[in-house]
Each structure stands twice: as C-alpha cells, then as structure tokens.
Structure 1
Amino acid sequence: MSDLWPRVAAVRDVRISVRLAALLFGALFAGTVHAAPGDNLKVVRELSSKVGPIVGSALACRDIARPRIQLIIEKFQGVIREASTLEADRDEVTRLLDRYVAEGRSMVTSGRIDCRAADRQLAGLEKSIASPPQTTSGLPEVRFGPPAAMAAIAPTQTLPPPMNVRGVTQSEIKFGIIIPFSGPVRETGRLMKLGIEAAFDRANESGGINGRMLKLVAADDGYDPNRTLDAMKQLYEKEQVFGFIGNFGTANAAMAIPYALERRTLFFGAYTGANVVRHDPPDRYVFNYRPSYAEETEALVHYLVKMRHLQPRQIAVFAQDDAYGDAGYAGVAKAFRTLGANDNAILRVNYTRNTVDVEPAVSQLKAQRIPIRAVIMVATTRAAAKFIEKAQEQLPGLIFANLSTVGASSLASELTLLGPRYTNGVIVTQVVPGVSGYSSLVLDYKNALAKYFPGEAPDYTSLEGYVSASILIEALKRVGPTFDTERLVDTLENIRNLDLGLGAQLGYGRAEHQASHKIWGTALDETGTYQAIELE
C-alpha cells in the first residue's frame, strides 16, 4: 500500500494540472485574460509549468501520434510570441518550457504515470483549444495560424479529397511494416523501423506530405514466413494501410509479395537483396532501395580474388538454409562464373534458420583437403557471431566476409564481447555510407536520430531505413495532394538522378525498380569499430 500511494498522488496532481492548463490555455486562446503585457508573460510562465509536463509525458509515449503533440507545441509557441515583445523574454519562457517538458518525460520513464494517463492529459488540452471559454476581456485576442502541417496551404483552402484511397485521409497517410519483434534478429528489425520513423518524423515536423502526416504501423512475424501472411492481412485489412515499407526478410517477402500484388499495393524498400523482389521485368508495385545480394557477393568475390589474391577454390560460403542463403550463394556462383571459375566446386556449409547451430558447418570446413582461407557469410547476426567464434578457435586466420543484412552494429557488439581477435579484420559490405561520415545525408540522419530518438546510436540498418523512407517521401511530395497507388508508382518510375547527399545518385524507371547499385566496404578493427576498405 505504501508503494501505491505516491502513484495515486501523482495521478491526482496530473488531473489538477490538466484542469488548470486547460483553463489557462483556453483562456489565452480565446483572449479572455485581462492583463498588462508584463502580467501576460507571468501567466505564460505559469502556463508553461502546466503544459510542459503534459507535452513531455506525451513525447515519452511512442503510441501517441506526434502531430497531436506538435499542434500543442505550435499553439503554445504562438502564445509565447503574443505575450512577449522582447526576444530575451521569449527565450526565457522557451527554456522554462523545455525544462518542464523534460520533467514530463521523466514522469513516464520513472513510472509515476503511464501512457494512458499521458494520452488523457493531451486530450484535455486538445479539448480546451477546440472549445475555449467564452468571456470578455480587454486583452487582444490571440489568434493562431495553421499548424506547420498546413502551412503550405492557404487559409481558405482545404486538401483535395483522398479519392477513397485506403490508408489516406485528409490528415494522414498510413504505411505498414512487418518486422521481427522477437527472435534472434529482432534488434535488426527494430533498427529498420527506427530509421523509417526518423524520416517520417522529420517530414511531419516540416509539414508532412501536402499537409498529411505520415504514420507507420508495425506487425510482428518473428522472422517466421509462416506468420507473414497473417501479419500482412492484419495491416492491410484491419489497419487499412496504404502500402508497405521496410518489410524484413527474404522468405518473408516471398510470402508477402503475392498478397500485395493481388491487391495492387505498394511494397517498398524491403530489407532483402534477393531476386524475389527483383523480377525481370519488375513487378509494378515492388520497389527496392538496396543493391542485390548478387551485387554484394560479386563485390566480395572480386575483393578476395583481386585484392587479397585468393584462389576461388579457397573461398567457401556459410549460409542460412533457406531462400536468403540460396540468394547469397547464387550471387557467389555468378561471380565465380564471371571470373571463369567452376561454380560447381564451391563449398557451401549451412545452418538452420532462427538457430545458432553452427558446429556442423565448422566441422565441414575443417574436413576440407584444400584449406579454406575465406568464408563469404550469408547469415543473421547471432549465427554469424557464433560461427566466427567457433571457426576462429578451430581454424585461425580465416577471412570472414559478411553481407550487409548481417546487421553490422549488432555483429560488432557480439564480437566485441568475445575479444579483439574475433573482431579484427571481419568484413561487412554496406549499402549505405559510413555512419561516422559527414555527407549531408548522414548528417541529416544523425540530427533526426538525436532529435526524435535521443540515446539511439547511429547504425547502418537504421540509416538504410532512413534512406528508403526519404526516397518514398520525395515521391509522395512529387505526386501531389490528390493521389492513389497508380499515380505514386508512375511518379516513382519517373524519378531520375535523385541526389539525397549519399555520394551516389538514385533513380528508377519502368524497367528498373532498384534505386541504388552502390556498395561500400567496411572491416572491423581490434576495437570493434568499422573502418572503410576499398573493394576494388
């Protein structure tokens, strides 16, 4: 009982704050406070102590829509401007508000209130703004302009009707993503979603897409393709999403794409380099950002043969025993044929999906008459880390070369725990530039990450999600306020030479639904930090 009382008291205090904030905010909104300019500023300082914690607690809850919070912030900024004529006063009140916002965040993170209570607080403010008290006053009325989301639209205009398009309303465009919330690759899936959300949040803060806010709804399939179809149905039929972005996994995509195609629904930027999303000619509704596994494995084979001077027979493949592994292996075989080598002689050792059972694969490598000197790895994070650990112990000196989908940061973390001899020299191809770099796109990404997800470290996977979403956002802006899937697809197919600041131009066409063919090389050093390497 003693532990319960502080929580009850906190909730009671919150309710009192909401009532007071609603009264003050509504009064200022309607121009009902009769006071001199100095007194107005005093009222706004008091208001910041009530509004700030409500905004902060809402910001700490990811399920509360950001446009709702942004609207409150923008209206309160209008109150500050109206109440203070001096820039110094405005700065002071803004700093005060920031402090109270931080306090509100801590109320949720410390468990003093929960997100349901935070949502109710926000709703109270919204209601007070929608229906302000009506009394007389000598204070000039405070009139608010449209929120940033509507800033580009004239006050007398409204958005064109959304043409009865699924997932599109006057205020919102809803996309779906299917990722593993559980299982051995859940962290990589989480990072993909994080990068997309960072790009969406950045766009929403700048006004959204012609006044409509972008929303991402996620479903979990646990990286199990047997669950993917149900997840697709959940998002399409129940959540009514407009399209899909960033779906995770090769075998999972093989289950999802037929469903999307039957419904003529956009399937954009999946986290796979397999041919299932790269048909020739391309499926009309399927678009990719990343290069293919064939391009990544070709880059690795050429690097090992041309730069490290290995014979093709000294290179093996460690692969997941499914469509993902098959796609990577096929890329290696194609690269061997390009070099004039016999692709039938490639040694492939496997492990079972969603496991770290790598001992049989290591034993197969040890049994080879001609020693293997390098292994191209088509694996997920934990399996790759376990394989490197076991193989390094039994076959020291091996070169380990991974595809980008291994999850670069997660792999580095796993290997760093084992010690410097396990990290040093491990190669990972990347489909985005180094996260430690200073290109304009990388800087935009890191600024967005710091603003919307403070504490999250820059990562290759979340950067890929950010880039994919940025391409989609550009297409949505170009298609205009009235659109449907067909118009968006036509717009995507006409994007040429798009420069996002990656160091490589992006684009699509009717016969080309892959935006990028650029691959970067990285290798871990003894500290577990990725350093750039030249692949050719």
Structure 2
Amino acid sequence: MRRSGAPFLNLALLKIALLAGMLVSPLAQADLTFGLVAPASGGAAPLGLGMQKGIETYFAEVNAAGGVNGEKLALIARDDQYKPLQAASNTRQLVHDDKVLAAIGNVGTPTATVTIPLYNEFETLLYGAFTGAGVLRKTPPDRYVINYRASYVQETATMVNGLLEAGIKPEEIAFFTQNDSFGDAGYNGAMQALNAHGIDNTSSLAHGRFTRGTRNIHQGLASVLEEPVTPRAIIIVGTYGPAADFIREARNDLPDALFLNVSFVGSQALLDELGDLSEGVIITQVVPPLDADLPAVDDYRQALNTYAGGSEPDFISLEGYLAAKLFVEGVKAAGAEPNREAIVNGLLGLGSIDIGLAEPLSLGPNDHQASDAVWPTIIKNGRFELVEWASLLP
C-alpha cells in the first residue's frame, strides 16, 4: 500500500497535524504502513508526540538507507487524547480503513485495556506500547501483543528495593496514583515487591489517588498526610501534570521526602513543569541514560540531528527510536512481502538480538517482552543522573 508523504515536520507542526485527526508519516511512496494511536493533545500529549518522533526518526533513517527490502516505511498517527473510547475508534479506523500492517508505540494503560481485545479480534499486532501494565503481559501472552519495555512491576520493584537499601522503612513508603488501571498497575507492582521482602501489612500504607485527566490532587494529598506515619518516600504513578502539582504541594508539608515516578510520567515534561522544585525527584527509566556511551544511543542522537531537525534528546523519543529499531528487525525477518501474520512471526522468531545496547534483547513465542532493564535516575541541577541508592540519604 502506497501513501504520499510530506516534508518532515518539527514537533510543533507535528502536534498541529495530529490535532487535525490524522497524520501520514513524511515518507514518500511508502510501501509498508504502520499505525500509532496516542495522545497528541491534552495532558499526555508529550508522551504520544515523543513516541511518534522517535519512531518516525528511525523510519526516516531506514528509508534513507533504502528501506526494508527496497520498500519504504510510513506511520499513520491518530490522536486519542488519552481517552479509551477515542482509542478504540481510532484503532478500528487504522485496521479497517488504513489497513496498517501493525500498530507500534501506542501510549497508555486505560487505552490499551480497551484496544487489546480489538487487536486480538482483528489479528493485528500491537507492538512496543508505551506502558508497563500487566494487561499487555499475560501468561501465556496474547499472540498479537508484543512489548519492548520493562513492566511497571519491574519499575516499582526497582524503587522499592532501592528505598529499602537506602534505609527507608517499609511503613515510611506512601503512594499517590491515578485512579484507573494505570495507577493500579504501578501500585500493585510495588505491593508485589514489598511482599517479596516479607512485608505483609502493605494495605496499611498511605495511598492517595486522583482522577485521570484532572489535576485535582488535594484529596489524594490529604489521604497521604492524614496517615499516622509520616512518609519519607512517595511513589507516584501518574502523568506529569498532576505529579508536578502533587510534588509542589507536598513539599510544603514533607520537605525532606523523596518523590519517585514511573517512566510514564514523562521525565522532561515533569522537569520543565517543576523547575527548581524538581531537584532530587527520582524517575525510573526503561531506556539508557541520554548520554550513555552505547552504539544505539549514539545512533539515536545522530538521527535526531539528521532527520528530526536537531531535536533535543529525551527519554520518550529514545524509547520510540529503540522500539522501532527492534521492530524493523522483525519486519526484515518477515520476508520480502510481509503481511500482518508474517511480522508477528518475524518478531517472535528473533530470539536474542543485539541492537547496540550492550545487553541483547530477546523475543520468542513465550517471551513477548524484549527488555527487562530499568535505569533509576534522579534530577540534579536540571540533569538526569543515575541513582546511587546506598548514598541517597544523609
């Protein structure tokens, strides 16, 4: 299927195009077309736009080198505004009207919850979604769901293990989470990690919640502050807006507390929103540091300069780039004329594969998650540095 493209758009123009409802990737005469359903407007827009930028940057790099078996790659992106019903509608359009070969880089847990049944019904791949939720990681796995990134269970386990190593007591850990399947996924992951340490009274830990799509954080903050034990660390599972508001307000009552966020928060957006108040905030990442001396990260930085107008590196577009890099290996393995089933088979047949991250990734019939790696980072002087848990507290 061939589609005409347009010149490469910078991020601002990209957002305008997505707000119009649909954007065909800037890849002229594309033969292999894929889809992305993600927020390009609303509070989670930086996540969708970041994933799109990373994927399109790698597609542009591949196309400049001749494509895959001489065929160019294109991406059709639709804005779901982080709304489940809109995500379902967009998914049907991509599969039935646009006839994409697969979806790549979709964003969000509540949106994935309603679209996964559709991808299974339509026998179309959902690959590399920007979420670590368990709904995408069933046992046995759904054939048409393949993940790139580590799970929220792995991210929150990294947090819990690190906090205990730093000397924080389990009862001094609190939670502030989005009141939906996304918040539940992060919270339940932390509970599993605490249980693994032999801690059983996890239900007594302070837990505040907020409603998706709002920044009404005060009731959740009150729930945390009303508990008899003053928290020394608060694990936050939410997007950057309410997370920033919560941290800003909570610092007034808990000036010495640690604030920890899962990767979905949007690291750069959170830093920009908080400014100086971001100092010491911890965020787990599922991709390497942006300055890592790794071939894949070097390629990413160069590709941004060449194909994304010199755009600044960030963790979200890096994830999109790396996910696309692995995805294209699966497309190559699908053969000269890949169809939907061949691409699934190509990815699941990759086994162990090195894409330039020092450690190989792995996919197989019973292994639908390529990476298990988590990098905990802390904001210091406006930069993201790796956390040293043992020396984190005075």
TM value normalised by structure 1? 0.67
- 2:35 maps to 1:176: yes
Cα distance between partner residues in 1 of 2:44 and 2:178? 13
**Deviation by residue 1:437-491 (Cα, 9 ceiling, x = unmatched):** 2211111001111111114210000000001111110111122203322222222
* Aligned equivalents of 2:26, 2:232: Cα separation in 1: 52
How far apart are residue 364 of structure 1 and its match?
Answer: 1.9
Corresponding residue for residue 428 of structure 1: 283
- 8 Å CA contact retained: 1:247, 1:269: yes
Q: Quote the offset at 1:280 in angstroms.
A: 0.2
- How far 1:67 moved relative to its partner? 4.8
Equivalent in 317, 323, 336 of residue 181 of structure 2:
323
Q: Is the 8 A contact 1:188 1:461 kept in 2?
A: yes
Residue in structure 1 matched with residue 190 of structure 2 by the alignment: 332
Distance in 1 (CA, whole Å) between partners of 2:124 and 2:353 is 24
- Matched residues in 2 for 1:446 and 1:181: separation? 23
Counterparts in 2 of 1:274 and 1:67: CA distance versus 1, 3 Å: closer
Percentage identity across aligned positions? 37
Contact 1:200 1:214 in 2 (8 A): yes
Deviation, 1:358, is 0.8
1:497 alignment partner, SS class:
strand
Change (3 A) 1:59 1:510: closer
1:393-413 deviations in whole A, cap 9, x for unaligned?
122111001101111111111
Q: Give yes or no for contact 1:504–1:518 (8 Å, CA) kept in 2.
A: no
| Structure with the bigger percentage of strand | 2
Contact 1:208 1:214 in 2 (8 A): yes
What's the CA shift string for 1:35-66, capped at 9, x where partnerless?
A: xxxxxxxxxxxxxxxxxxxxxx9456876865
Match of 1:275 in 2: 134
Check the 8 A contact 1:299/1:535 in 2, yes or no: no
| Contact 1:318/1:376, CA 8 A, preserved across alignment | yes
Q: Give the conservation status (yes or no) of the 8 Å contact 2:206–2:227.
A: no
Counterpart for residue 20 of structure 2: none
Q: Give the structure 2 partner of residue 209 of structure 1.
A: 68
Match 1:196 to one of 55, 60, 67: 55
Amino acid at match of 1:473: V
CA separation in 2, counterparts of 1:268 and 1:402? 24
* Kept in 2: contact 1:475–1:492 (CA 8 A): yes
Structure 1 residues 58 and 262, CA gap change in structure 2 (3 angstroms): closer
Counterparts of 1:511-522 in structure 2, within 5 Å, are 511-522=366-377
Higher relative contact order, structure no. (Cα contacts within 8 Å, ≥ 6 residues apart): 2
> C-alpha distance in 2, partners of 1:361/1:502?
39
Q: What corresponds to 1:531 in structure 2?
A: 385
How many residue pairs are counted as aligned between the two chains? 373
The structure whose residues are more often helix, as a share, is: 1
Partner of 2:263: 404
Structure 1 residue 327: deviation in Å?
0.4
After the TM superposition, which parts of structure 1 deviate over 3 Å for at least 4 consecutive aligned residues? Answer: 57-69
Aligned 8 A contact 1:413 1:528 in 2: no
Larger radius of gyration: 1
Residue 452 of structure 1 corresponds to: 307
Q: Give the counterpart letter for 1:371 in structure 2.
A: T
Kept in 2: contact 1:427–1:522 (CA 8 A) = yes
Contact conserved, 1:333 with 1:346, CA < 8 A, in 2? no
Aligned-partner Cα distance in 1 for 2:139–2:24: 42
One of 440, 451, 454 as aligned partner of 2:295: 440
Q: CA deviation at 1:382?
A: 0.7
Query: In the alignment, is the contact (CA less than 8 A) between 1:380 and 1:406 conserved in 2?
Result: yes
Matched with 2:150 is 291
Structure 2 contact 133–152 (Cα < 8 Å) conserved: yes
Q: Are 1:414 and 2:238 counterparts?
A: no
Tell me how far apart the structure 1 counterparts of residues 331 and 192 of structure 2 sit (CA, whole Å). 36
Say whether 1:470 aligns with 2:325. yes
Which sections of structure 1, spanning at least 5 residues, go unmatched?
A: 1-56, 70-170
Q: Indicate the RMSD between aligned Cα atoms, in angstroms.
A: 1.7
Which residues in structure 2 correspond to 1:115-264 (within 5 Å)? 172-264=31-123
Q: Deviation digits for residues 2-32 of structure 1, max 9, x if unmatched?
A: xxxxxxxxxxxxxxxxxxxxxxxxxxxxxxx
Counterpart position of 2:337: 482
The 2-side partners of 1:429 and 1:207 are apart by 36
Partners of 1:486 and 1:317 in 2: how far apart? 41
Match of 2:17 in 1: none
Q: CA deviation at 1:285?
A: 1.1
Q: Measure, in 2, the Cα distance between the counterparts of 1:65 and 1:376.
A: 37
Amino acid at match of 1:273: G
**What CA distance in whole angstroms lies between the structure 2 residues aligned with 1:386 and 1:480?**
49
Give distance in 2, aligned partners of 1:351 and 1:64.
35
- CA deviations 1:145-189 (Å, max 9, x no partner) are xxxxxxxxxxxxxxxxxxxxxxxxxx5111010111211111121
CA distance in 1, matches of 2:7, 2:319: 28
Counterpart for residue 377 of structure 1: 236
- Asked whether the equivalents of residues 521 and 535 of structure 1 are also in contact (C-alpha less than 8 Å), the reply is no
2:125 to 244, 266, 274: 266
Conserved in 1, the CA contact under 8 Å of 2:87 and 2:115? yes
Task: Structure 2: give runs of 5+ residues left out of the alignment.
Answer: 1-5, 15-22
**1:501 equivalenced with 2:360 (yes/no):** no
Q: Is the 8 A contact 1:291 1:517 kept in 2?
A: yes
Matched, 1:491 2:350: no
